[in-house]
Each structure stands twice: as structure tokens, then as C-alpha cells.
Amino acid sequence: MKKTRLISQYSIDIEKTLTDWFYSNTDSRDGVFIKKIIEPKRKVMIFIAEDYYHRIGSTLTLTVIVEQTLNQTSVEVVSSGGKEGYRYFSFSYGAEQSAVNRIVNFLTVKGFTEIESD
């Protein structure tokens, strides 16, 4: 599992931005799961997609959790599951990190700053 956290003080339409990104950058046949929780002073959105990676023979899940308040937007990106079976000692060949990096690079261009990475 790989994860990172980003924040931004800029006001962008993060819902549209991430929805467009997920639909144009994932091959999920079932689409993208999007859940919104709207409260008076904050909005929480959860985006989940999974893709099958032929080079590792496994499915990888990308989850993005957004918390948007009046002052800032916080984004957590988590990639999991992209490991080849135990016969190869669960190697991911960097697939999880690659998935996280794609969206982190995209959000960085949009004004986000990476503040935590694992």
C-alpha cells in the first residue's frame, strides 16, 4: 500500500477536476465510485477506481479522499492491491507508487503541495 497527502489553499472545482481525471486516466470497466458527504462547513468526497495491470497480473485500487473546507482542500491518495501473487513474494514492481505518482503530479500542477508520503 502506498499513500500520500496533499493540501491546497487555492479554490478549484476539485470534484470536477478529479472526476475528469479518473474517467480519463483509469480503465475501470465498472467506472469510478464517487461518494459525497456535504455538511454546512465542509465537503468530503471519496473517489475509488480499480484497474487490472497485465505486467503484474493483479488489480490495483486507487482511492482519493478529499476534505474541502472554506480555507483549504486536503487530499489523501491511497493505492493498494497491485502486487503479484505470493509465489513472487508479493512484489508490486512499483505499480502502487506509480499510480499514486500520476495523481500527485496532476494535483501538484493544479496548486496542491505534497505534505506527507508513505
pTM of the entire structure? 0.85
Scan for cell 493544479, then name that residue: 110
* Any domain includes 29: yes
* Identity of the residue numbered 38: I
SS3 5: strand
Distance between CA atoms of 51 and 25, rounded to whole angstroms?
A: 10
For the chain, what is the domain count? 1
Boundaries of domain holding 36: 2-113
Give the pLDDT band (50/70/90) at residue 116.
confident
* Percent of the chain surpassing pLDDT 90: 46
**Long-range contacts for 81-89 (Cβ within 8 Å, ≥24 apart)?**
81/50, 82/53, 82/56, 82/58, 83/56, 83/58, 84/56, 84/57, 84/58, 85/57, 85/58
Domain CATH number, residue 93 = 3.30.530
* Any domain includes 118: no
Scan for cell 472545482, then name that residue: 13
Please give the average per-residue pLDDT across 89-110, as a whole number: 80
- What confidence tens digit (pLDDT) does each residue in 12-47 have? 899 999 999 888 887 765 678 899 999 999 999 999
- What confidence tens digit (pLDDT) does each residue in 50-88 have? 877 776 677 888 999 999 998 999 999 998 876 655 545
* Any domain includes 33: yes
Give the pLDDT band (50/70/90) at residue 90.
low
* Percent of the chain surpassing pLDDT 70: 83
